[in-house]
Amino acid sequence: MTQRKAQIKRNTTETKIAIVLNIDGSGEREINSPFGFLNHMLDLFTKHGLFDLTVKATGDTYIDEHHIVEDIGIVLGESFAKALGDKKGISRYGFFILPMDEVVATVAVDFSGRYAFNFRCIFSREKVGDLSTELVYDFWDAFAQNAKINLFIKVENGRNTHHQMEAIFKATGRAIRMACDIDKREKNQIPSTKGKL
Ligand SMILES: [Mn+2]
């Protein structure tokens, strides 16, 4: 099996994003964006996904966080699509129900090659640390478009917005890890009757 790694650089007039991803990692990470809370979230995603990930992101912070956050989602999605290649032998589907104190996050994912995104979570706060909570939607939407996956995220309860966001990034890390894991009984086949994903 070829190594499931990707290295992507994307430079625009708004942002400069460089990502190195190893799907079969051990949770090694170096997350470097201008937003401490986003770094914390990507830290959790990587650790619970057992990926190895390096993110270097800079850009137009004088405007706001939007471009950088969305563009990291784009490049991270592209990195998973590139690292998985033809997706031979993967489990394809992943799901996780993750409790985080008073919060429960449910995530389901299908590496189908098609984009679909469903996000059900209401944040009571506009910002946590230096990250606008509305951008959690834009981050995962951009990720799903560029990874070409169906992604479903639902958060129930939630007195504490920090807990809600932690639950989302941890549960998504675990669900994507499950979907990318090799299915021992189907390791030389594309998990689709179409023979292509
Ligand atoms: Mn935390």
- The model's pLDDT over 163-197, given as tens digits with 9 standing for 90+, comes to 999 999 999 999 999 999 999 999 899 999 999 99
**How many percent of the chain have pLDDT more than 90?**
95
Structure tokens at 160: 């504490």
Neighbours of 195 (CB within 10 A): 7
pLDDT digits (tens, 9 = 90+) for 103-145: 999 999 999 999 999 999 999 999 999 999 999 999 999 999 9
Please give the share of the chain, as a percent, with pLDDT higher than 70: 99
> Backbone dihedral region of 11: left (phi > 0), alpha (psi from -120 to 50 degrees) or beta?
beta
Asked whether 150 and 191 are in contact (CB, 8 A), the reply is no
How many A from CA of 166 to the centre of ligand 1?
6
Query: Which pLDDT score is estimated for 1?
Result: 55
User: What's the 59 CA to ligand 1 centre distance in angstroms?
Assistant: 25
29: CA distance to ligand 1 center in Å? Answer: 16
What is the distance, to the nearest Å, from the Cα of residue 71 to the centroid of all Cα atoms in its chain? 12
Ligand 1 centroid–CA 2 distance in Å is: 35
Alpha carbon of 195 to ligand 1 centroid (Å): 41
Mean residue pLDDT across the chain: 97
79 C-alpha to ligand 1 centroid (Å): 25
- 3-class SS at 78? helix
Q: How much distance in Å is there from the Cα of 40 to the middle of ligand 1?
A: 7
pLDDT digits (tens, 9 = 90+) for 70-86: 999 999 999 999 999 99
Q: Which domains does the chain have, with CATH numbers?
A: 5-186 (3.30.230.40)
What average pLDDT does this structure show over 12-23? Answer: 98
> 22-60, pLDDT tens digit by residue?
999 999 999 999 999 999 999 999 999 999 999 999 999
Between the CA of 122 and the centroid of ligand 1 the distance, in Å, is: 18
Q: What is the token pair recorded at 67? A: 């471009």
User: Has residue 158 got a pLDDT over 90?
Assistant: no
> How does residue 3 score in pLDDT terms, banded at 50, 70 and 90?
confident
- Region of 8 (left: φ > 0; alpha: ψ -120 to 50; beta: rest) is beta
Measured CA to CA, the distance from residue 9 to residue 71 in angstroms comes to 11
- Is residue 66's pLDDT more than 70? yes
